[in-house]
Amino acid sequence: METLKIGIVGAGFVANFHCKAITQVRNMEVAGVTALQGAEALSAFVKENGLGTGTVYPDVGAMAPHVDAIAIYVPNFARIETMEQIVEAVKQGAQLKGVICEKPLGRNVMEARRLVELADEANLRTAYFENQIFMKPIQAQLAQLAPQQATMGPLVLTRSAEEHAGPHEPWFWDPTRQGGGVLCDMGCHSIAVGWYALTPLGKPPMFLEPVSISADCALLKWGLPKWRQKLLDERGVDYTKTPAEDFTTGMVTYRNPETGQLVKAQFTDSWMFEKQGLRLFMDGMGPGYAFEVNTLASSLQIFIGDEAAEATADAETALEKSTASRGLLAVQHNEADLYGYTDENEDAARAFLAGRDAMLSWRYGLEITKLVMAGYMAAERKQTIDLTDPAIQTELETFVPLIQQGKGAEMLYGTPEPVH
């Protein structure tokens, strides 16, 4: 089987998750790794698991001539500089077929559009990595319910949620570096999977036209004095001055351009979820049929009593963002596959080897960024945003949310500084 040799930029949490996924992917090799930190450890994993040479390179320019495609797994604030290095490497003669980027494509529409332009400039095929669309439960419900969709009509309502107790690295908590709070970080997932699940079978991912969006952003836990202090001590961010939302919910309305039918996707995302660990929840209602996915419902449960808990090494081996190491615990034994990382890598490799964009291109990622920005606009203005209004579309091109600017205190506390 022909394989795509990828070079990975960034060797943190998600790069490691992808390499776990690639142990289950047959058409991809990891030929290079470059990162400010963590490249050697990731390279060792790649070699131990026979995923490719996993050669560590000092920078993108040195790696590019030895790989077929580059995967951008650096933090959100380093996207554009990384992509500029890739474009420069192509100009210097690197024969790249494509480029992969993790979510979100940009912190705002200007950044996301710049990435699309850079990929065009270097004539590279693109893959926007939105893993939840590739989740086997999402794909399986579509296949299973295809006859119902054909006879009864497509889904009319989806509800999607991604929730956990908060991200692992300090930069995620800093709205100026990450792009916002949980709406930017995880709202992009829930908006994307909701849109996708509503899309009639056989239609492309951007078939349904976004009509309007309403949203609310709140700081429910991490703005309280005790938790604010914890963030300052452990993450170095001051939520008294530059807070980000730890909860968001909203509704996007879409129109079917062929039938005129309106359908709705609700999203809910939080960094203040006080349960076992990461939970992805999706459900969908069609006329007379439905589906539901809950990743905390595992076929494997374990029990660890108080005394035995002393021996627990790492709770996160059971479940991403796990918050407990004793009692009755859910274990997901193949999270890389469950969350869709396996299938999105396979899709990107197949597409680039065939000389085309992946199922989700960067142009699609740009539309998701735009919906996320429109969500912030709706929350700031306390208005439903009309996405069919050309004036709004023009405004979204340069819109930078107050929270992303580090000016979210008044919006989230209702006063310039918290009163408690």
Ligand X SMILES: NC(=O)c1ccc[n+]([C@@H]2O[C@H](COP(=O)([O-])OP(=O)(O)OC[C@H]3O[C@@H](n4cnc5c(N)ncnc54)[C@H](O)[C@@H]3O)[C@@H](O)[C@H]2O)c1
Q: Which residues bind ligand X (CB under 6 A)?
A: 9-15, 35-38, 73-76, 78, 81-82, 102-103, 131, 169
For the bound state, the minimum distance from the C-beta of residue 9 to ligand X, rounded and expressed in Å, comes to 5
Q: Is the dihedral of CA 137, 139, 144, 149 positive or negative?
A: positive
For the bound state, the minimum distance from the C-beta of residue 68 to ligand X, rounded and expressed in Å, comes to 20
Q: Which residues of 51-80 are buried (b: 16+ CB within 10 A; e: fewer)?
A: bbbbbbbeebeebbeebbbbbbbbbbeebb
Say if CB 237 and CB 415 are below 8 A apart: no
Q: Which is nearer to ligand X, 12 or 98 (CB)?
A: 12
Q: Which is nearer to ligand X, 286 or 365 (CB)?
A: 365
Q: Which is nearer to ligand X, 81 or 120 (CB)?
A: 81
Q: Which is nearer to ligand X, 214 or 295 (CB)?
A: 295
What's the count of helices (H) and strands (E) in the chain, helices before strands?
18, 15
CA atoms of 276 and 272, how far apart (whole Å)? 12
For the bound state, the minimum distance from the C-beta of residue 35 to ligand X, rounded and expressed in Å, comes to 4
DSSP annotation string for 267-304: EEEES---SSS-EEEEEEEETTEEEEEETT--SEEEEE
For the bound state, the minimum distance from the C-beta of residue 119 to ligand X, rounded and expressed in Å, comes to 16
For the bound state, the minimum distance from the C-beta of residue 345 to ligand X, rounded and expressed in Å, comes to 12
For the bound state, the minimum distance from the C-beta of residue 261 to ligand X, rounded and expressed in Å, comes to 31
For the bound state, the minimum distance from the C-beta of residue 73 to ligand X, rounded and expressed in Å, comes to 5
Q: Which residues of 115-147 are buried (b: 16+ CB within 10 A; e: fewer)?
A: bbebbeebebbbbbbbbbbbbebbeebbeebee
Q: Which is nearer to ligand X, 39 or 385 (CB)?
A: 39
CA atoms of 122 and 340, how far apart (whole Å)? 28
Q: Reduced to 3 states, what is the DSSP secondary structure of residue 5? A: strand
Q: Reduced to 3 states, what is the DSSP secondary structure of residue 157? A: strand
Q: Which of 349, 280, 274, 326 is nearest to 52 (CA)?
A: 349
Q: Which residue is nearest to ligand X (CB)?
A: 12
For the bound state, the minimum distance from the C-beta of residue 419 to ligand X, rounded and expressed in Å, comes to 32
Residue 50 burial class via C-beta count within 10 angstroms: exposed 0-12, middle 13-18, buried 19 and up: exposed
User: What count of residues does the chain have?
Assistant: 420
Query: From residue 219, how far is each of 73, 166, 227, 320, 414 by CA, in Å?
Result: 28, 12, 11, 23, 11
Q: Which is nearer to ligand X, 6 or 9 (CB)?
A: 9
Q: Which is nearer to ligand X, 10 or 286 (CB)?
A: 10
Residue 296 burial class via C-beta count within 10 angstroms: exposed 0-12, middle 13-18, buried 19 and up: middle
Q: Which is nearer to ligand X, 185 or 256 (CB)?
A: 185
For the bound state, the minimum distance from the C-beta of residue 395 to ligand X, rounded and expressed in Å, comes to 25
CA atoms of 127 and 344, how far apart (whole Å)? 9
Q: Residue with structure tokens 């600017």?
A: 405
Q: Which is nearer to ligand X, 278 or 411 (CB)?
A: 278
Q: Which is nearer to ligand X, 85 or 266 (CB)?
A: 85
Tokens of 258: 């062929």
For the bound state, the minimum distance from the C-beta of residue 280 to ligand X, rounded and expressed in Å, comes to 9
